[in-house]
Amino acid sequence: MVSVQQAVSKSDLKKFVTFPFSLYKDSPYWVPPLIKDEMETFDSEKNPVFENADAWFFLAYKNGEIAGRVVAMINWIEVNQQKLRKMRFGWFDFIDDTEVSEALIAKVEELARENKMDFMEGPVGFSNLDKVGVLIEGFDHIGTMITWYNYPYYQSHYERLGFVKEKGYEENKFPNSNVDPALFKRVHVLIKKRYGLKEMNFRKASEIMPWVDQMFDLFNESYAKLSSFVPITPVQREYFKKKYISFINPEYIKFIVDSSDKVIAFAIVMPSFSEAMQKAKGKLFPFGWYHLLKARKHNKDVIFYLIGIHPEYQNKGVTSIIFNEYYETFKEKQVRTCYRTPELEDNLAIKQLWKHFDPKVYKRRRTYKRDL
C-alpha cells in the first residue's frame, strides 16, 4: 500500500531532496544536485520565486520506504497576468511502480482542482530558468547540472496516467572543430560597423555586475514570445545575480552593446560540471569544491545556456559577433565539444542559428499535459 505525505519540515524536505540519490545510485548518467542549493531552492525564505508562487512537496511511501516525490506549483504571475490556469509539477521521481506515480499525481490533481486550475503540466519548474521536461531519448548520455535525468520507464507512467504530449524539446551537440571561422570572421566586422555595435568581454565577475540588470531586462524582452514564458521579477534577478553570476566563468559571458552602451544581445556559456558533480556526490565539503573548481578552470566541454537578442536586432547578423567572440575564447581554452540546453523542437529560428555547425540531436524530452 502507498501513502503520500506532505513534506513540510526541514528534515522532510531533505528527504525529498535526497531521494534521487538512492533511486539513481547505480546510474552512471545521473548528475546529482548540490543538496544545499536544492534545499535553498525550496526555501520560501531564501528563494524569491515564492513571492509570486506557491508550492507543495509530497513524498510517497511504500513498505515504510520513500518510493517517490513530486512538487506541485502555482505561479500566480502566470495565472493572474497571463490568464493561464496551470498547475505546474516537477521534481517528479518514482520507482517503477504505477501505484506510486498514480498516488503522487492524484495529490497534484487534488490541489489543482481546489485552486480551480484548468490543466496540469510537467515536469517543469517555477520559471523558464528552471529545469524542464522528462527525458524520452538519450538515456545513455550523462546528464547536466541544468537538466533532469530519468529512467526510460517514466514516459510510460505519464501516458498511463492519461497525460498527452504538450511540448517537445531537443538537446544538441557538436564538436568545436565543426566551427568554421570563415562563416563569421568577415561578417561580424561589417555588422558592428553597420549598426554601431561593440562586444563586451570580461575577466572578472565584478566587471559583469554593472551590466546584469540590462541582461535580465533583455532576457524578458527577447523570450517573451515563447509559450508559457514567465518573466523574471526584479527580486528574482537579485537572487540569480548572487547565486549564479559569480559562479560562471566571466570569459564565458558575452554582451553586445550599441553606441549608447545599451545591451542588445548576450550569451552565457558554462563549462560542463557533470563529472565534477558526480564526484562531489551532492556536497561541497570536504572535496566537492575541488572537483567543481577544477572543472571550472579546465573542462574542455561547454554548455550554451542562454542567448538573447533584442527583437529589433534579430535576423541582422548579430550572432556573428557572438560566435566570433566565443571562437576566440574556445580556441584559447581548447574547448572540444559544445552542448546546448533543451530547446523547443518547433523553434525554427534557433535551428537556423546553429545549422552551419552541423549539430546532432542526442537527447529528446517533453512536457506532458492533462486537462481537468
Q: What is the pTM of this model?
A: 0.94
Q: What is the DSSP string of 139-184?
A: TTS---TTS----THHHHHHHHTT-EEEEEEEEEEEEGGG--GGGT
The sign of the dihedral angle between the CA atoms of 245, 247, 248, 251 is positive
CATH 3.40.630.30 boundaries in the chain: 2-172, 175-359
The secondary element (H helix, E strand) that includes residue 270 is: strand 263-271
| Closest CA relative to residue 192, chosen from 242, 134, 257, 143 | 257
**Total Cβ atoms within 10 A of residue 31:** 22
Between β-strands 263-271 and 65-75, what pairing exists: parallel, antiparallel or unpaired? unpaired
| Closest CA relative to residue 154, chosen from 214, 194, 115, 104 | 104
pLDDT tens, position by position, for the chain (372 residues)?
999 999 999 999 999 999 999 999 999 999 999 999 999 999 999 999 999 999 999 999 999 999 999 999 999 999 998 899 999 999 999 999 999 999 999 999 999 999 999 999 999 999 888 999 999 999 999 999 999 999 999 999 999 999 999 999 999 999 999 999 999 999 999 999 999 999 999 999 899 999 999 999 998 888 877 766 788 888 888 888 887 787 889 999 999 999 999 999 999 999 999 999 999 999 999 999 999 999 999 999 999 998 999 999 998 999 999 999 999 999 999 999 999 999 999 988 889 889 999 999 999 999 999 999
Q: Which fold has domain 175-359?
A: Aminopeptidase (3.40.630)
Q: Does domain 2-172 have CATH number 3.40.630.30?
A: yes
